[in-house]
């Protein structure tokens, strides 16, 4: 099925849930209770009599969860993701602010490249700053408040098939084997999803898995924030290969409970900030003065580290045979270099794909090819944004897509122009925040405008 990527993005970014629930199935089961699974359950609540979320983690446990090892790290909710959450949960933004999330309007965001400030505000959309547990916890609370959604604390053990359709999930509840029957099963098991194995064990083909090795090393620390309303609430600093420091970038966000959350990242053998002393020293010495001001505050708790070996995607859309009654969402389909902050926003757009698919009145007894086609557009977009940037890293050696040299040159021109040209910066930000498809940057007028801006800057 051939779809116009730009048209799909436009539809997904304007789609809204139905005004009234329209049940078309009895029970839907979601395997995995993180952000992608919760958002899928929210969509399914409009189309199923009952939605069951199977998750190993107790939903009542607050804070970072064992099933989300990256939950202690800095997270970004891009404007495109906030837009989707507000549509799924009207009033989400205000509810998050009431819980302590911090507004991050354009004037409160700072961006540095190789130590130099960007002189153009690159965006006119508001976003929120807050920890992953706060944002995910609020989503979970809103979902579990729905009368037809429940959770089961259990370990999913496999799928139940009836001919060419999935009809349920086998699970282990406290050592007791059981089955949750469903007309639609959603895999939201994250990067470690076992769906490919389950398909292969049942005689189906497993999807091709593509990987791009990045070996990203994260370190995150929390500091006390004395200012209730600081002038800057989101500050990012990126370093290119032009600099000689071994830190690829750093950022700090104002988060709930009067705290700063600061992060720094390195690639390969570079593991900056693993100790409190190294973390504080680098913030003071290798980044703009704002970072030093954060480092001067009291550090709360230990430095939390995380290693991201590779970006990966499972191409379910390319399978010639696929069972009915089954889809996959979130990191179970594609997970990207977390530096670009696409995870939660991609999950929200997968939910929008599911909503669009279910509102088309599909035959659930047939494979969800239309959903897979919609989702492919979102995955392709996020994958192209992150991997094209990763291919510019010195230690990454492919695989290179066709036409990479030309597209890489054009991307460098556009990124350079975002520092001085408002029009280019806004178009670029619409793409990286996933409100527009990357094809919007491939238009001749965009590149010509960037070249003119760069010529004026020199």
pLDDT tens string, the chain, 458 residues long: the values are 567 899 999 899 888 888 888 899 999 999 999 999 999 999 999 999 999 999 988 666 665 555 555 667 777 778 888 899 999 999 999 999 999 999 888 888 888 888 888 755 556 667 888 998 999 999 999 999 999 999 999 999 999 999 999 999 999 988 888 999 999 999 999 999 999 999 999 999 999 999 988 888 989 999 999 998 899 999 999 887 666 677 888 999 999 999 999 999 988 888 888 999 999 999 999 999 999 999 999 999 999 998 888 899 999 999 999 999 999 999 999 998 887 778 899 999 999 999 999 999 999 999 999 999 999 999 999 988 888 777 777 777 777 788 888 888 888 899 888 888 888 988 888 898 888 999 898 888 999 999 999 999 87
Helix crossing, 5-12 with 343-358: angle to 10°?
A: 90
Residue bearing tokens 């949750």: 180
- First-residue to last-residue Cα distance in the chain: 46
DSSP letters, 12-32, are HTT----SS----EEEEEEE-
Tens of pLDDT, residues 353-363: 999 999 999 99
* Burial track 346-378 (b if 16+ CB lie within 10 A, e otherwise): bbbbbbbbbbbbbbeebebeebbebbbbbbbbb
| pLDDT number for residue 269 | 86
pLDDT at 240: 74
CA–CA gap between residue 217 and residue 66 (Å, rounded) = 19
Can you give the pLDDT at residue 347? 95
Pick the CATH number of 101-129+213-309 from 3.30.9.40, 1.10.3720.10, 3.40.1390.40, 3.30.910.10: 3.30.9.40
Residue by residue, DSSP assigns 143-196 as HHTSTTEEEEE-EEEEEEEETTEEEEEEEEETTEEEEEE-SEEEE--GGG--HH
pTM to 2 decimal places:
0.92
Q: Is residue 411 within 8 Å of 388, Cβ to Cβ?
A: yes
Give residue-wise pLDDT tens across range 159-171. Answer: 999 999 999 999 9
Other C-beta atoms closer than 10 Å to the C-beta of 192 total 11
Are 109 and 123 in contact by the 8 Å Cβ rule? The answer is: yes
Cβ–Cβ under 8 Å, residues 88 and 42? yes
Q: Is 3 helix (H, G, I), strand (E, B) or coil?
A: coil
* Residue 132, CA distances (Å) to 16, 64, 72 in order: 25, 8, 7
Q: How far apart are CA 62 and CA 393, in angstroms?
A: 37
Strands 25-31, 184-187: pairing is parallel
**Are 152 and 52 a contacting pair, CB within 8 Å?**
yes
Reference 131, options 274, 279, 261; nearest CA is 261
H or E stretch including 451? helix 444-457
Burial of 268 by CB count in 10 Å (0-12 exposed, 13-18 middle, 19+ buried)? middle
Please, which contacts does 9-13 make with residues 24 or more away whose CB atoms are closer than 8 Å? 9/377, 9/378, 9/381, 9/435, 9/436, 9/437, 11/356, 12/349, 12/352, 12/353, 12/356, 12/374, 12/378, 13/80, 13/83, 13/84, 13/352, 13/435, 13/436
User: Do 104 and 131 contact (CB within 8 A), yes or no?
Assistant: no
Residue 121 pLDDT: 55
User: Domain 5-89+135-210+313-390, CATH 3.40.47.10 — does that match?
Assistant: no
**What pLDDT was estimated at residue 105?**
84
φ, ψ at 344 (rounded to 5°): -65, -35
Query: How many whole angstroms from its chain centre is CA 315?
Result: 18
Distances (CA, A) of 73 to 208, 253, 263, 292: 29, 11, 8, 20
Q: Where in the chain is the domain with CATH 3.30.9.40?
A: 101-129+213-309
Residue span(s) of the chain under CATH 3.50.50.60 come to 5-89+135-210+313-390
pLDDT at 207: 97
User: Is the CB of residue 30 less than 8 Å from the CB of residue 44?
Assistant: yes
């Amino acid at each position: 099925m051939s779809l116009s990527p730009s048209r799909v993005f436009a539809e997904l970014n304007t789609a809204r849930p139905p005004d009234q629930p329209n049940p078309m199935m009895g029970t839907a089961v979601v395997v995995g209770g993180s952000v992608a699974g919760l958002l899928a359950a929210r969509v399914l609540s409009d189309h199923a009599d009952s939605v069951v979320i199977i998750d190993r983690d107790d939903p009542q446990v607050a804070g970072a969860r064992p099933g989300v090892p990256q939950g202690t790290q800095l997270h970004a909710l891009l404007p495109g993701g906030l837009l989707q959450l507000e549509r799924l949960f009207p009033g989400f933004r205000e509810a998050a602010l009431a819980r302590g999330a911090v507004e991050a309007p354009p004037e409160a965001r700072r961006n540095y490249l190789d130590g130099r400030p960007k002189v153009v505000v690159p965006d006119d959309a508001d976003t929120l700053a807050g920890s992953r547990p706060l944002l995910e916890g609020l989503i979970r609370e809103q979902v579990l408040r729905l009368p037809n959604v429940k959770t089961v604390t259990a370990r999913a053990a496999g799928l139940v098939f009836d001919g060419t359709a999935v009809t349920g999930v086998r699970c282990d509840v406290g050592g007791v084997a059981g089955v949750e029957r469903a007309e639609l099963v959603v895999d939201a098991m994250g990067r470690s999803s076992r769906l490919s194995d389950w398909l292969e064990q049942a005689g189906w083909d497993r999807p091709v898995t593509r990987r791009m090795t990045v070996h990203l090393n994260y370190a995150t620390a929390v500091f006390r924030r004395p200012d209730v309303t600081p002038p800057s609430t989101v500050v990012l600093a990126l370093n290119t290969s032009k600099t000689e420091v071994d830190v690829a970038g750093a950022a700090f966000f104002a988060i709930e409970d009067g705290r700063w959350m600061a992060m720094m990242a390195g690639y390969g053998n570079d593991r900056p900030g693993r100790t409190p002393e190294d973390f504080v020293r680098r913030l003071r010495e290798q980044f703009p003065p704002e970072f030093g001001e954060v480092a001067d505050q009291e550090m709360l708790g230990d430095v939390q580290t995380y290693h991201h070996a590779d970006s990966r995607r499972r191409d379910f859309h390319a399978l010639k045979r696929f069972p009915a009654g089954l889809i996959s969402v979130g990191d179970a389909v594609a997970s990207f270099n977390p530096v670009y902050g696409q995870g939660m926003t991609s999950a929200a757009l997968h939910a929008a794909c599911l909503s669009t698919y279910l509102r088309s009145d599909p035959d659930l007894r047939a494979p969800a090819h239309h959903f897979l086609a919609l989702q492919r557009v979102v995955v392709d977009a996020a994958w192209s944004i992150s991997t094209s940037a990763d291919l510019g890293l010195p230690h990454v050696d492919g695989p290179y897509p066709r036409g990479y040299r030309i597209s890489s040159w054009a991307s460098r021109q556009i990124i350079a122009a975002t520092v001085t040209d408002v029009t280019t910066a806004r178009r670029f930000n619409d793409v990286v925040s996933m409100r527009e498809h990357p094809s919007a940057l491939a238009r001749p007028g965009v590149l010509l405008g960037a070249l003119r801006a760069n010529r004026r800057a020199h």
